[in-house]
Amino acid sequence: MSKKITDKVTWVGKIDWELRSFHGDELSTHKGTSYNSYLIRDEKTVLIDTAWEPYDKEFVSNLKKEIDLKDIDYIVINHGEIDHSGSLVALMNEIPDTPIYCTANGVKSLKGHYHKDWNFVPVKTGDTLDIGSSTLAFVEARMLHWPDTMFTYMSGDNILFSTDAFGQHYASEMLFNDLVDQDELYSEAFKYYANILTPFNKLVINKIKEVVAMNLPLDYICTSHGVIWRDNPAQIIEKYIEWANDYKEDQITILYDTMWDGTRRMSEAIAKGLIEGDKDVRVKQFNLSKSDKNDVLSEAFKSKAILVGSPTVNKGITYATAGILEMLKGLGMKNKKAGAFGTYGWSGESVKIIEDWLHEAGFEIPLESVKAMWNPDEAAIEAAENFGKLFAAECLD
């Protein structure tokens, strides 16, 4: 079902209420998502992006209800990832000669995925396309979040088609930001930023500066997932600047795993110490085997410091701990402190392994880590509490 945005622009995407994980299982999507595609009808007709491949037949058939496909003059693909370009094969089977506007890297990624020699028109920042009473201007946005990414700005209606930037994995029949639950919207926009865009913080800041300097009037940000920002679209840009500047709240998050509850007891003792210190701090604890990894990463993103705990298992750490450390390394959060803890039976390698991994992930480790043998006794619990107190003092202003 299509939805009208302005007299000239119609949403022709797909709302996916069922999706619960994305990028394989790399990203949880508790609230579904949408694959947003937009049809512009000016003197020329333009399709911006498509929908994910499993929905290609539905996408093309809905598009046919909206327009004779032969009337599409240009296709713009802002980002070649399959969730946005996946319906191209089905569409291009019907209109094989239609020019596809994308970046030079977009040509590479589209050819890499579909192995088709379509009529590509590579564009770069500053290039424009006259479509009648309005003009499309292209702005390359390399690595936000793929090398091929670009934004397309439509004059007249003052719309920034921003592809994944400013998006949320958030299914809603309500097309616009002002019509949805604001807490849900911001929680999903935050999770999206923390889990996808964190590695590109500097690029986000620079790109926003570049676009702001263009002084373009902005009435809508049409993202490729979730709702369209029409009510004060600058609000999400301001949030992105905040998040990209090594965002942190007065929170310390403890991430641990345990087999026989010893490491959990250490976590609880550390949490007690963190809270008992003379600093105001919000403390959260997550058992990594029982928690959603992406929600945990969002909490880490929000924190001034994190503590990671694991028992020693076969001279190593548990797989859930290794998984989260690998993800933290990839995200490369900056200006955060960290510490390690864990229990062991004889050799006790886990704490050192966690410390090394945290160093590699870019965290500063201000205190020597704590470990305890077997099920921590009273003295070990007291040591963990003291560690918590000292850690809070080190990490909070």
* Of the candidate residues 130, 345, 356, 360, the single one contacting ligand FMN (CB under 6 A): 345
3-state secondary structure at position 310: coil
* Of the candidate residues 106, 311, 339, 388, the single one contacting ligand FMN (CB under 6 A): 311
Tell me the site size for ligand FMN, rule CB under 6 A: 18
CB of 275 to ligand FMN, least distance (A): 21
Nearer to ligand FMN, 38 or 256 (CB): 256
Q: What are the helix (H) ranges across the chain?
A: 56-66, 82-85, 88-94, 104-114, 182-192, 201-213, 234-244, 262-276, 293-302, 319-331, 350-360, 378-395
Residue 1 binding ligand FMN, by CB under 6 A: no
∠ at Cα 69 (4, 16), nearest 5°?
50
Residue 104 binding ligand FMN, by CB under 6 A: no
Residue 251 binding ligand FMN, by CB under 6 A: no
User: Beta-carbon neighbour count of residue 141 at 10 Å?
Assistant: 27
Whole-number Å distance between alpha carbons of 59 and 53: 9
* Of the candidate residues 260, 292, 332, 359, the single one contacting ligand FMN (CB under 6 A): 260
Residue 261 binding ligand FMN, by CB under 6 A: yes
Residue 195 DSSP code: I
User: Beta-carbon neighbour count of residue 330 at 10 Å?
Assistant: 12
Q: β-strands 159-163, 135-140: how paired?
A: unpaired
Give the residue numbers marked as catalytic: 23, 79, 81, 83, 145, 164, 192, 225
* Of the candidate residues 315, 330, 335, 356, the single one contacting ligand FMN (CB under 6 A): 315
Nearer to ligand FMN, 260 or 319 (CB): 260
Q: Give the rounded distance of the alpha carbon of 225 from its chain centre.
A: 11
CB of 270 to ligand FMN, least distance (A): 13
Query: What residues between 139 and 168 interact with ligand FMN by CB under 6 A?
Result: none
Whole-number Å distance between alpha carbons of 128 and 152: 9
Residue 348 binding ligand FMN, by CB under 6 A: yes
Residues of the shown chain interacting with ligand FMN in the complex, contacts defined by CB under 6 A:
258-263, 311-315, 343-348, 374
